[in-house]
Structure 1
Amino acid sequence: MSRFSKTLLSYLLGVLLSSAILLQLAFYFKGADELSDIEDTPRPKLHLYPPEVSTECRERHILFIIGGFTSVANALTTFKSVLFQMKGPLVFHFITNADSRKVIPTLFDTWQLPAVKYRIYDIEPYVKRIDWIPNTHYAFVFAMIKMVMHEILPEDVKEIVYLDTDLIILDDISPMFDVLKNTNDSVLFAMGENVSSGYTSGKHPWPARDIHNLLTISHPNIYVELPCEYNFQLGKNALPLTCQTNDRLVKIAHFNSKDKLNLKSKYVVHFARYYSHYRSMDGYVFRQRRECESDKSISTSLTDLIETDRECDELIVAMKTKYRTLLYFNGLNPSMLEHDVTLVTHLSIDRFAEFERVIDSWEGPISVAIYCTDAELYRLRSNIAMHAVFKTGDYYPINYLRNVALNASTTGLVFLTETNLVSSENIYNNIRKAVQRNMTNKAFVVPVFETTFDSEREKYPKTVEELLIEWKNGTLLPIEKQDNQKSYELWKENPARIKWDTGYLSLPVVARKTSIFYEEKFIGFDWRRRPNFIAKNSNSYLFGLIPSSFSIQPHHSQNIDFNHFNVSSLYKKCMSSIRREFDFDFYKILKDAIDLHRH
C-alpha cells in the first residue's frame, strides 16, 4: 500500500539509488551474518480488522507490473482472485511493455466487467532510471520498476495497492486500503512482513525488496508493516512457519520464486489447490459483480423473469454476446514481415489433434483462435500464435473467431482457411511465389476437395497429379460440387489458369490491410464457407489461382452446430429468418463485383 507524497518519496529514493553502488558493495562484503540484522530491526506493525459494514461505494486502485504475452495469461488467475474477493469499484493500473499493451485492452474490453476500469502506462521511458542497478532477479527491470511508480502514476492517484501477478487473494483485503488512514503524514507506504531469507541473505543482489528494506531501516518513520498473512510467501527461501497463522487466515498467498507452483513444498502444494480453483473459474461469472455492497440491481428472483414468444431468442442472444478474448496466450511473438503469409484459422479445443496436421504442413506463421473454457486454456501448448476466445452458450461464434485470428495476424498477407483441411505439399512456398507485391483488390484462391470415404484416411494426395488420379477414380471430389461444377471442371483441365467464378467456395489469400472482416452476427452452421471476405466490399477483386496447390477436407465428425442444423427444424427456421432479416446475399454481391471488373 502506498500513499503518494511524490516530492519526499522521489528525494528518498534518489538518495538511496545514487548510493546504490556503495550499498551493493556492502552486500558483497558484509556477509550474511551482519545482513541478518535487517530482520531483527524493530518495525511498526499493524493489526488489520475488517471494516464495519458500510454502504460506502469507494473506488480502490490496484497496480500491476506486467511484461510480455505470457505474463498477461498467467496474471489472469490473480485478476480472478481479486474480482472474486473484492466488491465495489476497482481501477486496475498496468505498467507494461509493448507486448502486454497488445493484449490487455482486448482482455478487459471483451470481459465487460461492471465497475472495473483500467489504465495502462508505458514502461519504456522509465527503464533507464533503474536498469543500471545490478540485478539478478528473474523478472529483470520489471522487478525494479516499482521503485519509480510514483513517477509513472498520475497525480489523481493518491493511494494504491501494488500486487505481484504470482499471488492469489484468498480473503477480503479491503483493510489494506485503510492501513494508512490513521497514520501521520510521514508514513508513505506499508509492506508485508518478510518471511523469506532470500531478500536479506545477500545472494540476490538488489531486487526491489532489498531496496525497500534498506529504505525502511534508514527512514523507519515512513513505513508500517503489514501482518504476514497479507504476504504469505511460498518461495524457495520462505519460512512459512514464522508466520503464526493458518490457511483460514491467510489473505494473500504469494508464489514468490522462479519455480512458482512447481516448487516441491507442502505449503505450495496446499495453496496450489486454491490457485487451480481460480485458474479454472469461468471468467464470465464476474460480469455479474456488483458495484457496491448495497447494489441490488442484479437479481436471481423468478418474479423478474419476462415471458417471451420469440422462438429464436437463444440464437439471437448468442449473436449479441461479447466473447472474452485473450490474445497470444502462449507467448509467441508473431512474424511482422510485409511479404510473408500467415495462415489464419479457428477451432474448438476438440479439434486440436486434427489441427496438428495443419501445423505440420505449413512452414510459415500461423494465427489461430481457439474456442475453449478457462480450464482448457492451460492445456494448450504449441509454437504458433494462439488466441483464446472463452466459451459460453451453445453456439460456435465462427466469424468472431475468424476475426480474432485475422486481426491478430501481423504479416502483409493472410491465407484464410479451415482447421480440418489437409493441404498439398509446399503450399506455403507456392503461395509466397504466386503473390504479388501490390495485392490491393486482388485475391488468390486455393480449391478444396473432399474425400468420399466414410472413415479417416492415413494418406492424402500431395501433388496435383496424385489428386487428378483420385478425382478420376471418384475417391476425391470437389467440395459442394453442385455449385462449382463448371469452375472445377475448368480447373481440372488447366489448374494454373482458372479464375474465381460465382459460387466458387475455395480458400482466399488476400492482403491483410485490405481484407474485409467477417460479419460477427452470423454464428453456427451455414456460414462456414461463404466468401465474406469480399461480400460487403463494393469494389471489384481480381482473382488468381495458386499454382499446384489445393486442400482436402477429410472425413470427420460434425460439430454441434451442424447437428443442430440437421435435426432441428427450429434451428433451420431461425437461421433462415436471420438470413432474411439481414438481407445478406453473398453470391449476388460477389457476382456483381466480378462482373464490374470484367466490364
Structure 2
Amino acid sequence: MTDELSQCGVSVLAQSVKSDGVAFGERWCSEQQQLIAPLILRLLSLQLIHVACVCAGHNASRDVVTLVKSVLFHRRNPLHFHFITDTVANRILSSLFQSWMVPSVQVSFYDADELKSEVSWIPNKHYSGIYGLMKLTLTKALPSDLTKVIVLDTDITFATDIAELWGIFRKFTDKQVIGLVENQSDWYLGNLWKNHKPWPALGRGFNTGVILLYLERLRRIGWEQMWRLTAERELMSMLSTSLADQDIFNAFIKQNPVLVHQLPCFWNVQLSDHTRSEQCYTEVSDLKVIHWNSPKKLRVKNKHVEFFRNLYLTFLEYDGNLLRRELFGCPSQANPESLQTALEELDEDDQCYDFRRERLTVHRVHLYFLQYEYTPTEDDTDITLVAQLSMDRLQMLEAICKHWEGPISLALYMSDAEAQQFLRYAQASEVLKNRKNVGYHIVYKEGQFYPVNLVRNVALKNANTPYVFLTDVDFLPMYGLYDYLRKSVVQLDMAHTKKALVVPAFETLRYRLSFPKSKAELLSMLDMGTLYTFRYHVWPKGHAPTNYAKWRTATTPYKVEWEPDFEPYVVVRRDCPEYDQRFVGFGWNKVSHVMELDAQEYDLMVLPNAFMIHMPHAPSFDISKFRSSSSYRNCLNTLKDEFHQDLSRKYGSAALKYLTAQRNI
C-alpha cells in the first residue's frame, strides 16, 4: 500500500485479505472475489488525499478557510492539508485547526521563509509577490515520501467531492507529471492590448489555481533544475514574471508538452474580468471548482457572477462546527483523550450538567481575523486594552478606538455569518480601517451559554504588550488614559511588584453624553446627576471598595482591600492569572478573577486621575436568563462553592477568608 491509504483504509484491507492464516493468493476464487470487491471499492473511498496551499498574511488566512469549508463539506475521504505559510498564517491556521478538531483531517505547516531564497531571485510583477512563486518549490518543501498532491490557490471554492479530482491521477500516462486546466483568458495569446508580450505558452496556456502534481515523478525528472533553467532562459528577454509561478509553469510546458495532463475546464472555472469561462459551464451540472482569480475577487464583471457569488457565500457563512462530523466507516478520535474522559465523567442527571458541559466545549478560534500590525515600544511600558464582545456591542468599537490610541486585543463571540457581517462593518468604517494595532479574534458560537471567560482569555492570551487593561467593551476610557496608565506603570514600579491598578468606573443613563475631558468635569457631572458611580443602584458591592469618596480628593494612588463581590477594572501584568472558565453567561465571571488576583497577593491600587464611563445598552440575553431562571441562579451558587473549594486547595489557608466571607453574606 502507498502513503495515500489512511490508517483506517489499511485496517479494512488487512481484514479483507486475512483468512485463517492462509495466504490470500492461495485461496482466491470467484466467491471470495465477489466478497472482496466491495471492500476494495470501499478502500478507494478511504484513501488519504493530500492538498497543498501557499498561504501568507491575515487576508489569505481568512480566505483559505472558505476553501477548506467547501472541501470538507463535500468530502468523504480523510484529508491531509499541507500549508506553506509565513509566521502570521502559521499562527492563525495552527490555532484554528487545533480548536476546530475536524475528524480525519491532518494538517502540516512548512516555513515559507526557508523557501524564499529558492525564488527571491525571480522579479515578479504579480500582486501575490514572492509567495506567488512558491508553488515551484513544492517538490523540495513537501515530505520526500509524498508521491502526489493537489495544489490549490486560496481563492478556490469546491462544488464537488475533491476525491473526484484526486482520481484523475489514475488517468495520467506514464510520462505525465502535472495536471492543469487551460487558461480561460486570452492572456497568453498576446492580443489583450498593443505591444502585449506574455511569457511563452502552449496555445492559450494553463492556469495554476488548481494543479495535480505527481511529486514522485517530478523529482525523478529533476523538476527543480528544469524549472530554474526555464526561468533563467526566459527572464533574459522577459525581465520579470507577470503572473508569478504560472508564467514559469507555462514556459516549462511549452518546452515539454508531453508532461502535462489537461484537466476538463470545469475543474478550474476562472472568474477574472477577461476570461471566457462561460464557454466551459454550459451546464451547471458540470461545475466542479470556482476560481476567483482576480485582484477584485467577488467584484469581477461576469454575467453569471451572482450565481457563483451565492455558491461562494454559502461556504463563507457556513457553520464550521457542522463539519466536525465523523466520516462514515472511518472512525477517528476527534477529541483528545483527556477531553473524552472528562466528557464521559459528566453526570447527565446533574441539574447543572449544561454548565459543566459548556466548560468542556472546545470553540473554534480564528486569531487576527483582520490585518494586524504592532511594533513593541522600547521602554517596556506598553499596555493593551483587552475586552470581549458579541454582535450586539459592535457599535462600541469606533468610540473605543477614538478614546484609546494604544494597542487593543478584542475577542468576538460570533457565528460564521456574524463574523462576515463584522468584516463588512470593519471594512466600511474609516475609523476601524485606519487602526492596524487592534487584534480581532473570532471565537465561534457553540453551546447554550455565552462562554464569557473563555472569550476573555482568548483576548488576554493574544495581547502582545507587557501590561493589559482588563475592561469591558461597553466602557469608554477617559481621553488620555493610555498615556496616563503607562506613566503609572513606571511610577508604581509594576515591573518588580505585584499590583493591579484600579480604574474607577462610572456610568451614564444617557445615550448621548458630552464626555468629560477631565476629573474636575466628571465630578461636576457627578454632582449634577448626569453621571453615577457604576451600578450603585443595583450592585453596589461590585465597586464600593474603590472608595469613590476618597477618590474625589485623592491626588496620589491609594491601596484598597479586597471585599466580597469586588469586580473592578484593572491594569495588570500580562502574566496575570487567566479567567476561570467555569463561569459562563451572567454572574461572577469578573468577581472570581479579582479574587484570584487577591489570592496571589496583588495590591489593589486605585488611580486618582483615571476614570471610565459605562454607556447604556439593552440587557444581554444571559442576564435575562439569570433573572428569570431559579435553576440558573442555583447552579451559579453551586459553581461559586466549587470555585471556593478549588481556591482553597490551590492557595491553602490564605484562601480561607474567601470561603468565610461567602458564608457571611
State if a TM-score over 0.5 links the two structures: yes
Q: Which residue of 1 aligns with 2:274?
A: 237
Deviation, 1:443, is 2.6
Residue 639 (structure 2) pairs with residue 578 (structure 1): yes
What is the CA deviation profile of residues 445-498 of structure 1, one whole-angstrom value per residue up to 9, with x for unaligned ones? 233334374x53423434222233344455412544346545413323425232
Decide whether aligned partners of structure 1 residues 520 and 241 sit closer, same or farther in structure 2, where only a CA change above 3 A counts: same
Match of 2:107 in 1: 118
Q: In structure 2, do the counterparts of structure 1 residues 125 and 199 end up closer, same or farther at CA, with 3 Å as the change threshold?
A: farther
> 2:176, 2:646 → 1: CA distance?
68
In 2 relative to 1, CA 561–584 (structure 1 residues): closer, same or farther, beyond 3 Å? farther
Q: Could you tell which deviates more after superposition, 553-562 or 138-147?
A: 553-562
Pick one of 500, 504, 511 that aligns with 1:448. 504
Change (3 A) 1:312 1:257: same
Cα distance in structure 2, aligned partners of 1:154 and 1:78: 23
Aligned partner (choices 162, 173, 181) of residue 173 of structure 1: 162
1:64 is displaced (CA, Å) by 0.8
Larger RCO of the pair (alpha carbons < 8 Å, separation 6+) = 1
Q: Tell me what 1:216 maps to.
A: 253
How far, CA to CA, are the matches of 2:118 and 2:586 in structure 1?
Answer: 55
Q: Give the structure 1 partner of residue 590 of structure 2.
A: 529
Q: 1:27-59 CA deviation, whole Å, 9 max, x = no partner?
A: xxxxxxxxxxxxxxxxxxxxxxxx996344211
Equivalent residue for 2:148? 159
Per the TM alignment, residue 192 of structure 1 is displaced from its structure 2 partner at its CA by 1.8
Question: What's 2:513 paired with?
Answer: 458
Task: Return the letter of the residue paired with 1:369.
Answer: A
**1:589 Cα deviation (Å)?**
7.0
Match of 2:560 in 1: 500
Is the CA contact (8 Å cut-off) linking 1:468 and 1:492 kept in structure 2? yes
SS in 1 for 2:590: coil
1:136–1:77: structure 2 CA closer, same or farther, 3 Å change rule? same
SS of the residue corresponding to residue 99 of structure 2 reads helix
Give the equivalent residue in structure 2 for 1:13. Answer: none
The structure 2 residue matched to 1:468, chosen from 506, 523, 528, is: 523
Q: Which amino acid aligns with 1:226?
A: L
Aligned match for 1:54, one of 42, 46, 49: 42
Q: Partner of 2:570: helix, strand, or coil?
A: strand
Q: Quick one: distance in 1 between partners of 2:104 and 2:65? A: 18
Separation in 2, partners of 1:529, 1:148: 50
**Which digits, 9 at most, give the CA deviation of each residue in 1:496-522, with x for residues without a partner?**
23213213432111221x222212222
**Alignment counterpart, residue 179 of structure 2, candidates 186, 190, 194:** 190
Q: Distance in 2 between matches of 1:115 and 1:372?
A: 26
> Contact 2:49–2:78 (CA<8 Å) still a contact in 1?
yes
- Distance, in Å, in 2 between the alignment partners of 1:117 and 1:227 is 29
1:275 matched to 2:312: yes
Mapping for residues 399-438 of structure 1, pairs under 5 Å? 399-436=453-490
Task: Rate the CA distance shift 1:423–1:462 in 2: closer, same or farther, 3 A.
Answer: farther
**In the alignment, which of 418, 430, 441 is matched to residue 376 of structure 1?**
418
Task: Give me the TM-score of the superposition, normalised by structure 1.
Answer: 0.83
- Decide whether the 8 Å contact of 2:558 with 2:607 is kept in 1: no
**Farther off after superposition, 211-220 or 75-84:** 211-220
> Which amino acid is 1:283 matched to?
G
Q: Which moved more, 1:374-383 or 1:487-496?
A: 487-496
Partners of 1:261 and 1:269 within 8 A in 2? no
Deviates more, 1:177-186 or 1:316-325: 177-186
How far did 1:283 drift?
A: 0.6
Q: State the distance in 1 between where 2:155 and 2:546 align.
A: 57
Q: Deviations over 1:520-557 (max 9, x none)?
A: 22211113432516717854323433341011223322
Equivalent AA in structure 2 for residue 336 of structure 1: P
- How far off its partner does 1:200 sit? 5.1
- Is residue 180–residue 187 contact of structure 1 (8 Å, CA) maintained in 2? no
Deviations 1:366-422 (A, max 9, x none): 110011111111222133221111112331111111111111111121111111012
Normalising by structure 2, what TM-score? 0.75
CA distance in 2 between partners of 1:281 and 1:229 (Å)? 23
CA distance in structure 1 between the aligned counterparts of 2:528 and 2:243, rounded to whole angstroms: 72
SS of 1:87 mapped into structure 2: coil
5+ residue gaps, structure 1, are 5-50, 299-305
Of the structure 1 ranges 126-135 and 222-231, higher mean CA displacement relative to structure 2 is found in: 126-135
Q: Report if the CA contact (8 A) 1:70-1:331 is conserved.
A: yes
Deviations 1:546-582 (A, max 9, x none): 3410112233221111111111101111111222234
Superposed, 1:5-404 pairs within 5 Å as: 54-56=42-44, 57-199=46-188, 201=190, 202-203=197-198, 205-243=242-280, 245-290=282-327, 292=328, 308-337=348-377, 338-380=380-422, 381=426, 382=432, 383=435, 384-404=438-458
Determine helix, strand or coil for the equivalent of 1:210: helix
What are the superposed Cα offsets for residues 64-90 of structure 1, whole Å, 9 maximum, x if unpaired? 110101211121111100001111211
For 2:477, the aligned partner's letter is S
Counterpart residue identity of residue 353, structure 2: D
The aligned amino acid for 2:84 is I
2: distance between equivalents of 1:341 and 1:126?
36
Q: Deviations over 1:175-221 (max 9, x none)?
A: 32132325444322211222222355335635212211221221223
Partner of 1:47: none
Q: Which has more helix, going by share of residues?
A: 2
Deviation at 1:294, TM superposition (A): 6.5
> Per the alignment, do residues 444 and 60 of structure 1 end up closer, same or farther by CA in structure 2, a change over 3 Å counting?
same
Which residue in the other structure is 1:42 paired with? none
Q: Which runs of 5+ in 2 are unaligned?
A: 5-38, 191-196, 199-240, 335-345, 427-431, 658-665
1:88-115 deviation line (CA, Å, top 9, x unaligned): 2111100011111121111111111011
Partner of 1:511: 573
Count of aligned residue pairs for this structure pair? 537
Kindly tell me: are residues 307 and 138 of structure 1, through their superposed partners in 2, closer, same or farther at Cα, counting changes over 3 Å? same
Task: Establish whether residue 542 from structure 1 lines up as the match of residue 603 from structure 2.
Answer: yes
The answer to whether the 8 Å contact 1:195/1:240 transfers is yes
1:433–1:199 CA distance, 2 compared to 1 (3 A): farther
How many Å apart are 1:297 and its aligned residue? 11
Query: Aligned letter for 2:552?
Result: K
SS of the equivalent of 2:558 reads: coil
1:493–1:81: structure 2 CA closer, same or farther, 3 Å change rule? same
Q: Determine the C-alpha separation between the residues in 1 that align with 2:162 and 2:542.
A: 63
Say which of 540, 547, 555 aligns to 1:481.
540
User: Alignment partner of 2:261: what SS?
Assistant: strand
Report if aligned partners of 2:182, 2:265 keep a CA contact under 8 Å in 1.
yes
CA contact (8 A) 2:503 2:570 kept: no
Go from structure 1 to structure 2 and tell me whether the alpha carbon gap of 1:367 and 1:442 turns closer, same or farther (over 3 Å shift): same
The change in CA–CA distance for 1:216 and 1:77 in structure 2 (over 3 A counts) is same
Contact in 2 for aligned 1:516/1:537 (Cα 8 Å)? no
CA contact (8 A) 2:579 2:592 kept: no
Q: Distance in 2 between matches of 1:392 and 1:244?
A: 38
Q: Secondary structure at the match of 2:153?
A: coil
Whole-angstrom distance in 2 between the partners of 1:209 and 1:272: 25
Deviations for 1:290-341, whole angstroms, at most 9, x for unmatched residues? 1x4576999xxxxxxx995332222222221111110111112234333211
**Partners in 1 of 2:655 and 2:477 — Cα distance?**
28
Q: Report the counterpart of residue 569 of structure 1 in structure 2.
A: 630
Separation (CA, whole Å) in 1 of partners of 2:557 and 2:502: 12
Residue 151 of structure 1 deviates from its aligned partner by 0.5
